[in-house]
A and B are shown apart, each in its own frame.
Chain A
Amino acid sequence: MAMSEKLTKPRPDKQTITVTINGQQYAADVEPRKLLADFIREECGLTGTHLGCEHGVCGACTVLMDDRPVRSCLIFAVQADGTDILTVEGLAKDGELNTLQKAFMENHGLQCGFCTPGMLITATDLLSRNPHPTEQEIREGISGNLCRCTGYQGIVKAIQSAAEQTK
Chain B
Amino acid sequence: MKPAAFTYFAPTTLAEAITLLQEHEDAKVLSGGQSLVPAMNMRLARPAVLVDINKLADLEYIREQGGGIAIGGLTRHYDVEVSALVKERCPLLAAAAHHIGYPAIRHRGTMGGTVAHNDPAATLPIVLRCLGAKVTAAGPNGSRSIDMADFSLGIYTTALEAGEIVTEVWSPVIPKGTGWSWQELTRHAGDFALVAVAATLQVKDGKVAAASITLGGVGDGPVPVDDAVAALVGQPATVESFIKAGAAAAQKVEPESDIHASAEYRREMVKVFVRRALVEALSRAQGGN
Contacts and interface: CB of A to CB of B under 8 A. Distances in A.
The finding on whether chains A and B are genuine partners in a shared complex, rather than unrelated, reads: yes
Interface of A: 13, 15, 31-33, 35, 38, 54-56, 59, 62, 68-71, 73-76, 78-79, 122, 125-126, 139-141, 143-145
Given A38-B2, A79-B52, A126-B103, A68 B108 contact: yes
B6 A75 contact: no
Given A32-B6, A33-B5, A69 B37 contact: no
B104 A70 contact: yes
Given A35-B2, A143-B102, A68 B107 contact: yes
Nearest to B1: A54
B160 interface: no
Interface of B: 1-8, 10, 30, 33-34, 37-38, 41-42, 50, 52, 54, 76, 78, 101-105, 107-108, 188-190
A59 B41 CA distance: 15
Contact of B2 (A33, A59, A68, A140): A33
A98 to B, nearest CB: 20
Nearest to B33: A74
Nearest to A32: B8
Nearest to B38: A55
Contacts of B50: 32, 76
B96 to A, nearest CB: 15
Contacts of B33: 74-75
22 contacts: A32-B6, A32-B7, A35-B2, A38-B2, A55-B38, A55-B42, A56-B37, A68-B108, A69-B103, A69-B104, A69-B107, A70-B104, A74-B108, A76-B37, A76-B50, A79-B52, A126-B103, A141-B103, A143-B102, A144-B103, A144-B105, A144-B190
Contacts of B38: 54-56, 74
Give the residue among A15, A71, A143 with the most B Cβ atoms within 10 A: A71
Given A75-B33, A143-B188, A144-B103, A55 B108 contact: no
Contacts, number: 85
B77 to A, nearest CB: 11
B239 to A, nearest CB: 27
A149 B288 CA distance: 44
Given A33-B2, A55-B42, A71 B108 contact: yes
Contact of B105 (A15, A54, A56, A79): A56
Contacts of B1: 54
A103 B105 CA distance: 26
Contacts of B3: 33, 35
Contacts of A33: 2-6
Top-9 shortest CB links A-B: A144-B102, A32-B8, A55-B38, A143-B189, A68-B107, A74-B37, A69-B104, A54-B41, A33-B3
A148 B76 CA distance: 30
Contacts of B8: 15, 32, 76, 78
Nearest to A72: B104
Contacts of B4: 33
Given A33-B6, A59-B102, A69-B103, 11 more contacts: A13-B5, A54-B1, A69-B104, A70-B107, A71-B104, A74-B41, A75-B108, A76-B8, A76-B37, A126-B103, A144-B104
B261 to A, nearest CB: 18
Nearest to A38: B2
Contacts of A35: 2-3, 41
B5 A59 contact: no
A62 B38 CA distance: 15
Scoring B6, B107, B188 by chain A CB atoms within 10 A of each residue's CB, the highest score goes to B107
